[in-house]
């Protein structure tokens, strides 16, 4: 890797011990894009190790950077691959305004995340700067505690303070929607709960029998919210089972 004229030239070689597929290549990124690509891949590996995106499931997106020409562009992980092995050149660049792929990976075998339509909806409706789609077991189990059509209610837990604007006195409501055969089919249920004022302070939507979507204003806040929500999922479920 070398920096030339404010841009980073990234060279890579992958094989059995490397990334997703055997490949050799070179691509140029802005410094801010390079940093975001590295963070996305770092967090994919971290979330995999936590059991949130195992078995090629789950996904992530994040704003490309803070330069004016980057703010409408989002990095999105590919679908159907081992997320812990995703490398910076494997990410798609998508225009959040129209959903178009602005720059695909050089590896043409990779396909855009199945979650991309959900990501775009949360970017538009909630101003998300990054979104994690988790397949954590705790998210699946805790959604069963909410009755059909009701939210998951979180209260009397100190970790609520880890959510933007949260206090340990809050009665925090997390919407729960039903699962569908394909990811884009979740949009109707997602839009229905996003329109409800009672969920304005929630940064998470649980999908019954499936997982959760968690977001924040940027990739770092999304990481923080993801860690807080997964703690809350586990705490609520363990309290219910004791």
pLDDT at 28: 61
pLDDT at 30: 73
CA 192/CA 28 separation, integer angstroms: 41
Say yes or no to pLDDT of 18 above 60: no
> Which positions are annotated as active-site residues?
158
The total of other beta-carbon atoms located within 10 Å of residue 148's CB is 7
Sign of the Cα pseudo-torsion (202, 79, 62, 119, in order): negative
Rounded to an integer, the average pLDDT of 144-151 is: 95
pLDDT at 3: 53
pTM score of the predicted model: 0.89
Digit-coded pLDDT (tens) for 165-180: 999 999 999 999 999 9
pLDDT at 241: 86
pLDDT at 2: 47
Digit-coded pLDDT (tens) for 50-72: 999 999 999 999 999 888 889 99
pLDDT at 67: 84
Residues 132-242, CATH architecture? 3-Layer(aba) Sandwich (3.40)
Say yes or no to pLDDT of 95 above 90: yes
Provide the CA 157 distance to its chain's centre, in angstroms. 24
Say yes or no to pLDDT of 152 above 50: yes
H helix runs in the chain, sequence order: 31-49, 116-126, 137-143, 187-194, 219-241
Say yes or no to pLDDT of 17 above 50: no
Could you tell me which residue, 167 or 5, shows the higher pLDDT?
A: 167
Could you tell me which residue, 234 or 28, shows the higher pLDDT?
A: 234
Digit-coded pLDDT (tens) for 198-242: 999 999 999 999 999 999 999 999 999 999 999 999 999 999 988
- Is-contact 194 121, C-beta < 8 A? yes
The total of other beta-carbon atoms located within 10 Å of residue 37's CB is 25
């Amino acid at each position: 890797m070398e920096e030339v004229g404010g841009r980073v030239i990234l060279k890579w070689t992958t094989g059995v011990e490397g990334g997703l597929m055997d490949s050799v290549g070179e691509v140029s990124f802005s410094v801010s894009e390079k940093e975001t690509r590295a963070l996305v891949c770092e967090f994919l590996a971290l979330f995999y190790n936590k059991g949130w995106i195992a078995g090629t499931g789950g996904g992530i997106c994040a704003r490309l950077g803070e330069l004016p020409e980057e703010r409408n562009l989002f990095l999105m992980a590919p679908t159907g691959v081992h997320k812990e092995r995703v490398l910076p050149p494997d990410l798609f660049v998508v225009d959040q305004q129209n959903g178009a792929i602005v720059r695909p990976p050089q590896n043409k075998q990779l396909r855009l995340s199945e979650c991309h339509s959900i990501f775009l909806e949360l970017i538009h409706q909630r101003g998300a700067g990054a979104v994690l789609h988790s397949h954590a077991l705790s998210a699946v189990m805790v959604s069963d505690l909410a009755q059909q059509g009701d939210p998951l209610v979180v209260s009397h837990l100190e970790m609520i303070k880890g959510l933007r604007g949260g206090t340990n006195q809050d009665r925090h409501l997390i919407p729960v929607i039903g699962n569908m055969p394909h990811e884009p089919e979740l949009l109707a249920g997602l839009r229905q709960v996003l329109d409800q004022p009672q969920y304005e302070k929630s940064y998470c939507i649980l999908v019954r029998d499936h997982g959760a979507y968690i977001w924040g204003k940027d990739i770092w806040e999304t990481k923080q919210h993801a860690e807080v929500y997964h703690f809350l999922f586990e705490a609520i479920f363990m309290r219910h089972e004791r």
